[in-house]
Structure 1
Amino acid sequence: MSNLLSDFLSLLPGDPLLVGEVSSIADEIRIVTLPDGSTITAKGVAAVGQRVFIRGGVIDGIAPALTVVEILV
Protein backbone atom coordinates (compact mmCIF):
# COMPACT_ATOMS: atom_id res chain seq x y z
CA MET A 1 0.00 0.00 0.00
CA SER A 2 1.34 3.41 -0.91
CA ASN A 3 1.69 6.39 1.42
CA LEU A 4 -1.23 8.77 0.80
CA LEU A 5 0.75 11.84 1.88
CA SER A 6 3.59 11.16 -0.55
CA ASP A 7 1.07 10.46 -3.31
CA PHE A 8 -0.64 13.79 -2.62
CA LEU A 9 2.65 15.73 -2.50
CA SER A 10 3.69 14.24 -5.84
CA LEU A 11 0.66 15.96 -7.40
CA LEU A 12 1.79 19.43 -6.31
CA PRO A 13 3.96 21.39 -8.73
CA GLY A 14 7.63 21.93 -7.94
CA ASP A 15 9.47 25.23 -8.06
CA PRO A 16 8.31 27.39 -10.99
CA LEU A 17 10.69 28.35 -13.79
CA LEU A 18 11.13 32.14 -13.67
CA VAL A 19 12.81 34.50 -16.10
CA GLY A 20 14.41 37.82 -15.28
CA GLU A 21 17.33 40.16 -15.87
CA VAL A 22 20.40 40.28 -13.65
CA SER A 23 20.47 43.80 -12.23
CA SER A 24 23.42 43.53 -9.85
CA ILE A 25 25.93 41.16 -8.31
CA ALA A 26 26.89 41.06 -4.63
CA ASP A 27 29.59 38.48 -3.81
CA GLU A 28 28.33 35.30 -5.50
CA ILE A 29 24.64 36.27 -5.34
CA ARG A 30 22.83 37.71 -8.35
CA ILE A 31 19.96 40.17 -7.87
CA VAL A 32 17.42 39.41 -10.61
CA THR A 33 14.59 41.72 -11.64
CA LEU A 34 11.48 39.86 -12.80
CA PRO A 35 9.15 41.19 -15.52
CA ASP A 36 6.66 42.47 -12.90
CA GLY A 37 9.40 44.65 -11.33
CA SER A 38 9.99 42.54 -8.22
CA THR A 39 13.48 41.31 -7.38
CA ILE A 40 14.79 37.97 -6.18
CA THR A 41 18.22 36.60 -5.36
CA ALA A 42 19.76 33.65 -7.14
CA LYS A 43 23.01 31.73 -7.11
CA GLY A 44 24.82 30.95 -10.33
CA VAL A 45 26.88 32.42 -13.11
CA ALA A 46 25.54 35.37 -15.11
CA ALA A 47 26.64 38.90 -15.92
CA VAL A 48 24.75 42.12 -15.22
CA GLY A 49 22.20 42.73 -17.98
CA GLN A 50 21.80 39.09 -18.98
CA ARG A 51 18.36 37.47 -18.98
CA VAL A 52 18.34 34.21 -17.06
CA PHE A 53 16.10 31.30 -16.13
CA ILE A 54 15.79 30.72 -12.36
CA ARG A 55 14.35 27.71 -10.55
CA GLY A 56 14.49 27.33 -6.78
CA GLY A 57 16.90 30.23 -6.27
CA VAL A 58 19.46 28.84 -8.73
CA ILE A 59 20.19 30.15 -12.22
CA ASP A 60 19.32 27.38 -14.69
CA GLY A 61 20.79 29.10 -17.73
CA ILE A 62 20.78 32.10 -20.01
CA ALA A 63 17.36 33.06 -21.41
CA PRO A 64 16.86 34.49 -24.89
CA ALA A 65 16.18 38.23 -25.08
CA LEU A 66 12.57 38.03 -26.28
CA THR A 67 9.55 40.19 -25.60
CA VAL A 68 7.72 39.14 -22.43
CA VAL A 69 4.01 38.49 -22.87
CA GLU A 70 1.73 37.98 -19.88
CA ILE A 71 -1.47 36.01 -20.39
CA LEU A 72 -4.21 36.62 -17.84
CA VAL A 73 -7.01 34.10 -17.49
Structure 2
Amino acid sequence: MATTNIWQQFKSLIPEGARTIVTITSNNGDGTSSATLRDGTTIRVQGESVLGGQKAIIQNGEVKATAPSLAQYEQEV
Protein backbone atom coordinates (compact mmCIF):
# COMPACT_ATOMS: atom_id res chain seq x y z
CA MET A 1 0.00 0.00 0.00
CA ALA A 2 1.37 3.43 -0.94
CA THR A 3 2.04 5.86 1.89
CA THR A 4 0.32 9.22 2.01
CA ASN A 5 2.92 10.66 4.39
CA ILE A 6 4.62 13.39 2.36
CA TRP A 7 7.83 13.21 4.43
CA GLN A 8 8.20 9.46 3.74
CA GLN A 9 7.61 10.07 0.02
CA PHE A 10 10.31 12.78 0.02
CA LYS A 11 12.80 10.55 1.90
CA SER A 12 12.32 7.79 -0.68
CA LEU A 13 13.70 10.15 -3.37
CA ILE A 14 17.05 10.58 -1.57
CA PRO A 15 19.56 7.72 -1.88
CA GLU A 16 20.74 6.12 1.35
CA GLY A 17 24.33 6.73 2.50
CA ALA A 18 26.72 9.59 1.91
CA ARG A 19 28.53 9.91 -1.40
CA THR A 20 32.17 11.00 -1.43
CA ILE A 21 34.59 11.92 -4.21
CA VAL A 22 37.99 10.21 -3.87
CA THR A 23 41.10 9.71 -5.97
CA ILE A 24 41.82 6.05 -6.66
CA THR A 25 45.50 5.38 -5.99
CA SER A 26 45.60 1.70 -6.97
CA ASN A 27 43.54 -1.39 -7.71
CA ASN A 28 44.53 -4.12 -5.28
CA GLY A 29 43.64 -7.15 -7.45
CA ASP A 30 41.32 -8.65 -4.81
CA GLY A 31 38.16 -6.71 -5.66
CA THR A 32 39.19 -3.64 -3.66
CA SER A 33 40.91 -0.35 -4.42
CA SER A 34 42.99 2.05 -2.35
CA ALA A 35 41.69 5.61 -2.43
CA THR A 36 42.71 8.99 -1.05
CA LEU A 37 40.22 11.46 0.41
CA ARG A 38 40.59 15.23 -0.05
CA ASP A 39 42.18 15.56 3.40
CA GLY A 40 44.89 13.01 2.49
CA THR A 41 43.45 10.06 4.38
CA THR A 42 43.91 6.72 2.60
CA ILE A 43 41.03 4.23 2.66
CA ARG A 44 40.23 0.86 1.08
CA VAL A 45 36.96 0.55 -0.87
CA GLN A 46 35.13 -2.27 -2.62
CA GLY A 47 35.36 -2.33 -6.43
CA GLU A 48 38.01 -1.96 -9.11
CA SER A 49 36.01 -0.34 -11.91
CA VAL A 50 37.97 2.95 -11.77
CA LEU A 51 41.65 3.02 -12.74
CA GLY A 52 44.41 4.43 -10.55
CA GLY A 53 44.83 8.20 -10.78
CA GLN A 54 41.16 8.82 -11.64
CA LYS A 55 38.47 10.29 -9.42
CA ALA A 56 35.58 8.10 -8.25
CA ILE A 57 32.30 8.41 -6.41
CA ILE A 58 32.02 6.06 -3.45
CA GLN A 59 28.90 5.28 -1.45
CA ASN A 60 28.78 2.99 1.59
CA GLY A 61 32.41 1.97 1.01
CA GLU A 62 31.84 0.87 -2.60
CA VAL A 63 32.98 2.44 -5.88
CA LYS A 64 29.85 3.56 -7.74
CA ALA A 65 31.16 5.48 -10.76
CA THR A 66 33.96 7.53 -12.27
CA ALA A 67 33.82 11.21 -11.32
CA PRO A 68 34.99 14.00 -13.64
CA SER A 69 38.26 15.73 -12.80
CA LEU A 70 37.14 19.34 -12.46
CA ALA A 71 39.11 22.37 -11.37
CA GLN A 72 38.86 23.07 -7.65
CA TYR A 73 38.81 26.59 -6.28
CA GLU A 74 38.98 27.75 -2.69
CA GLN A 75 37.78 31.18 -1.64
CA GLU A 76 38.17 32.66 1.80
CA VAL A 77 35.27 34.79 2.99
What TM-score do the two structures reach when normalised by structure 1? 0.68
Q: Which has the larger radius of gyration?
A: 2
| Pairs within 5 Å for 1:25-44 | 25-26=27-28, 27-44=30-47
* CA distance, structure 2, for counterparts of residue 63 and residue 34 of structure 1: 13
Structure 2 vs 1, CA of residues 40 and 52 (structure 1 numbering), >3 Å: closer, same or farther? same
Correspondence for 1:54: 58
Quote how far apart the aligned CAs of 1:60 are: 1.1
* CA distance, structure 2, for counterparts of residue 43 and residue 69 of structure 1: 29
* CA distance, structure 1, for counterparts of residue 59 and residue 72 of structure 2: 18
Structure 2 vs 1, CA of residues 52 and 70 (structure 1 numbering), >3 Å: closer, same or farther? farther
Structure 2 vs 1, CA of residues 70 and 31 (structure 1 numbering), >3 Å: closer, same or farther? farther
* CA distance, structure 2, for counterparts of residue 61 and residue 29 of structure 1: 14
Aligned-residue CA RMSD (Å): 2.5
Count of matched residue positions in the alignment of Structure 1 and Structure 2: 62
> Percent of pairs identical after alignment?
29
Correspondence for 2:20: 18
* CA distance, structure 1, for counterparts of residue 71 and residue 18 of structure 2: 19
* CA distance, structure 2, for counterparts of residue 15 and residue 23 of structure 1: 23
Unmatched 5+ stretches in structure 1: 1-9
